[in-house]
Structure 1
Amino acid sequence: MDEVSKRLEAAVWLEGVAPELPKETCERFTEAVVSYYELPAIDGRQRGPIESLKEDYLAFAAILQIMQNEDPLEAISLHPRVAQAELTAWIRGSAALAATDTDLA
């Protein structure tokens, strides 16, 4: 996926879930999404497009939650069925955000 497509994907997703965010927050989110897409695939898994999109959107949610100082891991712990997928997304989302923002603790 080229960088324009990555930025468009970030903008479309963010507009759908948080259209009221300030421009600076949107830009920071978009940079984290671009970094997320540059992360290597996990375990060399072959995933279909639906599985990839689900993982991407979970990572986007994690990026946004981290940026807003929310704890996505607490919410994940309440639903053990999906905990692994969301934890993986959180880790990749954190890595993407850390790649663009050294403030991440």
Structure 2
Amino acid sequence: MRTAGSSESAHADRALSDLRFLTGTKERPMRCPFCGCEDTQVKDSRSAEDGSSIRRRRQCAACSGRFTTFERVQLRELVVVKSSGRKEVFDRDKLMRSVQISL
């Protein structure tokens, strides 16, 4: 089991800069920054200080290394593709106006 030390801290800092903060997807599973194993367990989970992300403490099943991840949701704007091929951002108000007119 790893203990908190300067070498682990340096490894963790470097690993955190390389980590992708997407978890739970089959395309990009969370990997241990120490050994690359995909089998990690969440030991602690809580909201981060800013409230817009989740801080998770994880432990690797293979090497017992512990590391922290910060995960946040990436919201994408909805885009409507017009029949001409032009794209525009979805406008909820425009949809509501159209529905009201049709009634």
Question: Normalising to structure 1: TM-score of the pair?
Answer: 0.28
Q: Answer 1 or 2: which has greater helix percent.
A: 1
User: Which structure is higher in RCO with an 8 Å CA cutoff and minimum separation 6?
Assistant: 1
Question: Normalising to structure 2: TM-score of the pair?
Answer: 0.29
Q: Answer 1 or 2: which has greater strand percent.
A: 2
